[in-house]
Amino acid sequence: MRLYPAIDVLGGNAVRLLRGDFDAKKVYDEDPLSAAQGWVAAGAEYLHVVDLDGAKNGQPVNIEQLRRIAGECGVPVQYGGGLRSAGAVDAALDAGAARVVLGTVAFTKPEVLRESLDAHGQERILVAVDVRGGYVATHGWLQVTGTRARDAFAKLRERGVRHFVFTDIDRDGTLGGANREEVALIAGAAGEGSVILSGGVGTRADLEGLARLRGERALEGLDGVIVGTALYEGRFTVAEAKEALTLR
Catalytic residues, which ones? 8, 130
Q: How far does Cα 190 stand from its chain's mean position?
A: 15
Phi, psi of 200 (to 5 degrees): 105, -15
Residues β-bridged to residue 77: 47
d(CA 186, CA 190): 6
Other Cβ atoms closer than 10 A to 179: 15
User: Of 100, 2, 91, 108, nearest to 49 (Cα)?
Assistant: 100
Residue 89 vs residues 2, 6, 60, 76, 96: alpha-carbon distances, Å: 24, 20, 9, 16, 11
Contact 95, 67 (CB under 8 A): yes
